[in-house]
Amino acid sequence: MSRLFDYLYIFATIGFTVYGQLILKWRIAQFGPLPVDTFSKIKFLLGLLLDPAIFSGFAAAFLASLAWMAAMTKFELSHAYPFMSINFVVVLLLSAWFLSEPMTLQKALGVGLIVMGTVVAARG
């Protein structure tokens, strides 16, 4: 049971990372494109930093880092790191679902190759 609990650190890292990526993309898309001139860029980026949803994405990245540090106390890096490829799969699926991003055959094949590579690496 204890070893199963150890994997929760890895999956918490994945969950926080995926949340952070999705929330940042969602909110930034609502702000529109980055302005051209320097002063407007600075104002735009500061506005992003002060947005609560974007701040929650940064908080998720911090929590993902803490969970990853905990995972590193339990696993060899060569064992734990291949699990991070799950991020690609989950972000692809959820970005298609929540953000209406296109799901192309090339993206699906690419993620499939990543998954196959992860399985090979995890067994090695």
Whole-number Cα distances in Å, 25 to 38, 54, 67, 72, 101: 22, 9, 22, 28, 11
Digit-coded pLDDT (tens) for 80-123:
998 898 999 999 999 999 999 999 999 999 999 988 888 887 77
Digit-coded pLDDT (tens) for 2-39:
888 999 999 999 999 999 999 999 999 999 999 999 99
Tell me the whole-structure pTM to 2 decimals.
0.88
DSSP, res 33: S
Domain boundaries, the chain: 2-123
Q: Residue 120's pLDDT is what?
A: 84
Three-state secondary structure call for residue 47: helix
